[in-house]
Amino acid sequence: MVAAMDWREYWNRDTPIYVSDRHKLLHYWLIANDIAAIVPSPDAVVLDHGCGEALSAQRIAARCAYLYLCDAAPLVRERLEQRFRNEPRISVIAPEDVEDLSDQSLDLIVVNSLVQYLTLEELRHLLQTWRAKLKPEGRLVLADVIPPDVSPLTDAKALLSFAWKGGFAVQAGLGLVRTIFSDYRKIRGELGLAQYEESEMIELLTSMGFSAERRRPNLGHNQARMTFMARPA
């Protein structure tokens, strides 16, 4: 039953957030390209935390030495393992496994569109872990963070604009109507999404031992949301 569900359970199944296969494909293609563009060097070891189905992760792997794909949902991990079983430079891991990575071993940690599903306590815990796992010159990129003034309507407009350019506008319109009646809307109403002011996020990152700044553009298609670039201070 939806009322008893939390966000982690919600993601452990096929969700209606992608309005069509083309939407999902283009979404992951765009995210992978945006992440590939910030990989600092071909020797980099990269973690994509909360990666989702990461359909185009091989594009990131092609730009770095090693890529860890981490997702909390067992179903998502099974699919990733299947998809990347022949990619020697990609490992699929659970959030608990991140704790076991060597300290100061990662050059880049990307966290796209995850923060809104975490409590402040969970986010603090993860920031502590990420801080420990980053090399001194490594970078944490927290992206798609939702500011308080961004409404579901703004998200809908961003999706329609992405859909128009991507050739799936009709499906996007229908998908938005479906969303109104979906579990996502109900669970969002019950659990809410964590939203942060730019200054709040910078303060949080600073208090957790990072030096941080806003980075424009945001990763992905929705420029009403924010990306932060942080380094161990």
Ligand X SMILES: C[S@@+](CC[C@H](N)C(=O)[O-])C[C@H]1O[C@@H](n2cnc3c(N)ncnc32)[C@H](O)[C@@H]1O
Name the residues that contact ligand X, by CB under 6 A: 7-8, 11, 31, 49-52, 70-73, 76, 95, 112-114, 117
Q: Min. distance of Cβ 96 from ligand X in angstroms?
A: 9
Hey, what are 1's tokens?
């039953």
Q: Min. distance of Cβ 6 from ligand X in angstroms?
A: 9
Q: Which residues contact 68 (CB under 8 A, 6 or more apart)?
A: 45, 46, 47, 48, 90, 91, 92, 93, 98, 101
Q: Min. distance of Cβ 158 from ligand X in angstroms?
A: 14
**Between 30 and 136, CB nearer to ligand X:** 30
Q: Min. distance of Cβ 190 from ligand X in angstroms?
A: 16
Alpha helix (H) ranges present in the chain?
7-11, 21-36, 57-61, 74-83, 95-100, 120-133, 152-166, 169-180, 183-191, 198-207
Quote the DSSP letter at residue 53.
Answer: T
**Between 15 and 211, CB nearer to ligand X:** 15
**Between 49 and 63, CB nearer to ligand X:** 49
* Distance between CA atoms of residues 177 and 179, nearest Å: 5
- CA-atom Rg of the chain in angstroms: 17
Q: Min. distance of Cβ 195 from ligand X in angstroms?
A: 15
**Between 48 and 107, CB nearer to ligand X:** 48
**Between 119 and 136, CB nearer to ligand X:** 119
Identify the CA nearest to 67 among candidates 97, 86, 93.
Answer: 93
Q: Min. distance of Cβ 113 from ligand X in angstroms?
A: 4
Are 64 and 38 a contacting pair, CB within 8 Å?
no
Using omega within 30 degrees of 0 as the cis cutoff, is the peptide bond preceding 217 cis? yes
**Between 10 and 210, CB nearer to ligand X:** 10
Closest-CB residue for ligand X?
A: 52
Residue type at 18?
Y
